[in-house]
């Protein structure tokens, strides 16, 4: 799947504010719902929080990749936020997060879900790429960044 199919511009937000990790996860699910691909928002929130409770998805370097699988979505849906203020996420490096990329896929599509999650992880676990994201001032610039990364693979 192409980036703009998973992460439409309406699912990207610069300056998202959250009080804590749980609030952030809920707001990311609400952002993902803007795509129209979420059939049951409360179920998606529940699954994302359940998955996060198993083990942190804060991968370090100020990045979190929360994800879940549920049949409450149509296909794969993503949301990306550059936070206004960093949020403690119990990340593996103990640093708060600034960037959050949520990914929710259907239960029966594990292969595609893992490929998309792996691509996002490769992109966001790279200091040079994080530096480029820091320069993005618009949602369109962030989308263009991810599309370019996909084309470069």
Question: How far is 70 from 45, CA to CA, in rounded Å?
Answer: 10
**The token pair that represents 75 in the structure block:** 């296909």
pTM, rounded to two decimals: 0.95
Question: How far is 85 from 103, CA to CA, in rounded Å?
Answer: 21
Give the active site residue among 13, 21, 67, 119: 67
Answer yes or no: are the C-beta atoms of 124 and 99 closer than 8 Å: yes
Q: Kindly tell me if the per-residue pLDDT of 114 is higher than 90.
A: no
Look at the chain and report how many structural domains it folds into: 1
Question: Coil, strand or helix: which one is 7?
Answer: coil
Q: Is residue 67 among the annotated active site residues?
A: yes
Domain that holds residue 68: 3-152
Question: How far is 50 from 75, CA to CA, in rounded Å?
Answer: 20
Q: Residue 4: its pLDDT value, please?
A: 79
Query: pLDDT for 29-59, tens place per residue?
Result: 999 999 999 999 999 999 999 999 999 999 9
State mean pLDDT over 54-78.
95
Q: Residue 81: its pLDDT value, please?
A: 98
Q: What's the CATH code of the domain at 64?
A: 3.40.930.10
Count of other CB atoms within 10 angstroms of residue 71 = 14
Residues 20, 127, 26: CA angle, nearest 5 degrees: 20
Question: How far is 58 from 137, CA to CA, in rounded Å?
Answer: 23
């Amino acid at each position: 799947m192409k980036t703009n199919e998973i992460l439409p511009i309406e699912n990207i937000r610069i300056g998202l504010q959250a009080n804590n990790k749980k609030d952030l996860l809920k707001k990311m699910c609400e952002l993902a719902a803007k795509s129209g691909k979420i059939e049951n928002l409360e179920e998606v929130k529940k699954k994302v929080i359940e998955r996060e409770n198993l083990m942190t998805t804060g991968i370090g370097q100020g990045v979190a990749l929360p994800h879940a699988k549920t049949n409450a979505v149509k296909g794969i849906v993503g949301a990306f936020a550059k936070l206004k203020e960093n949020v403690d996420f119990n990340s593996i490096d103990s640093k708060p997060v600034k960037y959050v990329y949520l990914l929710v896929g259907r239960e029966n599509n594990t292969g595609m879900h893992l490929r998309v999650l792996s691509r996002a992880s490769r992109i966001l676990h790279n200091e040079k790429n994080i530096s480029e994201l820091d320069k993005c001032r618009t949602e369109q610039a962030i989308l263009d960044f991810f599309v370019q990364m996909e084309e470069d693979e």
